[in-house]
Amino acid sequence: MLDRPIAIPGDQGGHAGFLVEQRELAAEAEQTDARREGEEQDDRRPLAAPLPGRRLRWTLAPGHAATIDRVNVLEATRRAMGRALAALDVEPELVLTDFVKLEGLRCPQRNLVRGDQRSATVAAASIIAKVTRDRIMAEADREYPQYGFGRHKGYATQEHLAALSVHGPCPLHRRTFNGVAVQQELFSIIADEE
């Protein structure tokens, strides 16, 4: 078993908010039949608490909506992963990803299809990233309460899409995402007519 595997999944989120890449350096890698935590935000918070008796190090690297719009969500994910890896204070022996290949690593990598279901290390890193993103979106709800980010965390729910149709996009919205792009175009036309 490797002493320093590193898992690098993240949460790419929905129509609004940050992409959060999380790197967890685990004492050991395990295979598991972990159930997918999906979008069940309330159920995953307790899972993000530190594991007793485990020596873990982790870093977070957010990707902003403007970057996602400029370079696409996959490239923004890779860039955030690279920043999170660079922030670690140790060199990993193996990098596990949730099926995102990284270039230029000095160690081997395994890009697992459904990595959060196949590896406890990837699942733990994914949960921490999602809980962090949920917290960021709850804070965004205070600045932009009209969108309901505290409830839907930026995902494309009916409530969120309805708020977009009334208020248009805010700076947190990913303008290249389909439902947001339509609303941005509509609000641009209305602004031009005024």
Q: What's this model's pTM, rounded to 2 decimal places?
A: 0.69
Give φ, ψ of 179 to 5 degrees.
Answer: -65, -30
More confident residue, 8 or 179: 179
**Whether 135 contacts 107, CB under 8 Å:** no
Pairing state between β 19-25 and 10-11? antiparallel
Domain-by-domain residue ranges, the chain? 5-139, 144-193
Q: Where does the pLDDT of residue 92 fall: very low under 50, low under 70, confident under 90, or very high at 90 and above?
A: confident
Work out the average pLDDT over 161-167.
91
Q: How far apart are CA 30 and CA 176, in angstroms?
A: 37
Q: Where does the pLDDT of residue 192 fall: very low under 50, low under 70, confident under 90, or very high at 90 and above?
A: very low
First to last CA, the chain: 65
Superfamily for domain range 5-139: Ribonuclease H-like superfamily/Ribonuclease H (3.30.420.10)
- What pLDDT digit, counting tens, does each position of 111-156 carry? 999 988 998 888 888 888 888 888 989 999 999 999 999 999 988 8
pLDDT averaged over the chain?
74
What pLDDT does residue 156 have?
Answer: 87
Give φ, ψ of 188 to 5 degrees.
Answer: -65, -40
**Quick check: 191 pLDDT over 70?**
no
Per-range mean pLDDT, top range of 66-80, 84-98, 142-156: 142-156
Helix pair angle (178-193, 158-167), 10° resolution: 20
Q: How far apart are CA 144 and CA 87, in angstroms?
A: 31
